[in-house]
Structures are given as structure tokens and as C-alpha cells.
Amino acid sequence: MIILAQVAALVGAAVHLLAFVWETLLFRRPSIHEDLFRIPTGDVAAVRMWAFNVGFYNLFLGTGALMGVALWRAGEDTVGRALVLYTCSFMLLAGIALFVSDRMAMSRPRGAGLGGAAAQCTPPAIALIALAAA
């Protein structure tokens, strides 16, 4: 179960690192802000600071999970496991918040954010369940 938890944490890290790239580095591309996030080009200037900042949250979560797994695999069980538990809990809770905001249709049509919420919640949920079972 430990290997499953570590692999799921790494998948969660990859999701968040990809989100960093989209939100911080590539956000002004129409294929990202319009097609992926459903933000009209006319609204990009208004939400760019938000996207940039959220991108860095995702960078820190992703690198935290990577470091947790790396430390855990290097024999630093307590520190590595604590980092994985914290970052995966944060990812899961943030995904739940994304799901709730989607259900409330806060910025897009209801249902448009379900894929993102599932991508954000599923890997850390698997990691946390595997850790609880280990």
C-alpha cells in the first residue's frame, strides 16, 4: 500500500505541476484560457493575476509532494510521510472546493469544472486511502 500511496502522490504532483504551467506560463494562449479554463480572451486581463497566483500554489503543492516521496524513499520516513499527508490532504480539500464552486456555477456553467475537480481529487484521495490502509 505504501508504493500505491507514493505513486498516487506522484500523479497528484504531476497534475499540480501541469496546472502551474497552464496557469502561470501558458495562460494567455487561447488554447489554455478559452479551451481549457473557459475564460474568454476579453476577460484574461481581469483574471490573469488570479491564475498566476493559483499557479504558484499548484507549483508548491506539486513540489512538496515530490519532495515528500523523495525523502520517504530516501529513508526519511517521518518527514516524507508527513509531507505526502499534508500535500495530498491540501490537494484533496482544494479539489473539493473546486467541486463545490462548480456546483454553485460560480464562474462557468455548472458541470464545466467537474473534470478538473476529479483530476485534482482522485490521486491524493487514493494516496490518503492507501496510507490509512498501510
| The pLDDT of residue 64 is above 80 | yes
Confidence at residue 97, expressed as pLDDT on a 0 to 100 scale: 93
13-62 pLDDT, tens per residue? Answer: 999 999 999 999 999 999 999 988 888 999 999 999 999 999 999 999 99
Work out the angle between the directed axes of helices 114-133 and 2-20 (0-180°, nearest 10). Answer: 150
129 exposure class (CB count in 10 Å sphere: 0-12, 13-18, 19+): middle
pTM for the model: 0.92
**Residue 46: what residue type?**
A
Confidence at residue 106, expressed as pLDDT on a 0 to 100 scale: 76
